[in-house]
Amino acid sequence: MAEDTQLLPYCQNQLTGLRVHVRALFEAAVQNRPPSAAIVDAVNGNMQKISSAPALCFNESQGFFRQHTHPVTQLVEHAMALIADDAAGLLAGDDADLLAQCQSEPCDRFYLRTHARRRWCSTRCGDRARAARAHARKYHQPEGN
């Protein structure tokens, strides 16, 4: 995206909506339950926008020409189509079983479980979870110990 491109509130809302939808699909996958059909439709809609054709236009000086009627929206829609396509590829692909949600509070990221015992999205989250456990052991010993 060009540096001087402003992300219009409309586009920001679209991107936020896609993020919410992709997260809902990832949650359904991780929790092994069926996704909302409406959300699957919405993400499919994002992917199909990638082929939206520029409008046919005409004026006296140029004659016929084609132009995207809202260039910023077209850029955002293209980006959203790629994100939706990546998410769909992941959910329906060979790595789908590796999808997991980080277990370090308050992190809510998803990650690919690259080895069987991995429980956190990052070293940082793992360190925070280990520190919290150590703190709990030190300061919250059960009574009678």
Least gap, CB of 23 to Zn ion (angstroms): 14
Helix (H) / strand (E) element for 58: namely strand 55-59
Strand, coil or helix: what is 130?
Answer: helix
Nearer to Zn ion (CB atom), residue 1 or residue 132: 132
Residues 97-116, one symbol each (x = binds Zn ion by CB under 5 A, - = not), give: -----x-x--x-x-------
| Residue (26 or 46) nearer to Zn ion, CB | 26
Residues 6+ apart with CB under 8 A from 69: 54, 55
Question: In the beta sheet, which residues pair with residue 25?
Answer: none
Site string for Zn ion, 44-83 (x = CB under 5 A): ----------------------------------------
Locate tokens 């409309």: which residue?
Answer: 10
Is 121 among the residues that bind Zn ion (CB under 5 A)? yes
Query: Can you spell out the DSSP letters for 61-103?
Result: TTEEEEE-SSHHHHHHHHHHHHHHHHHHHHHHSTTGGGEEE--
The least distance separating Zn ion from the CB of residue 140, rounded to whole angstroms, comes to 23
- Kindly list the residues in this chain that would bind Zn ion in the complex (CB under 5 A): 102, 104, 107, 109, 121, 125
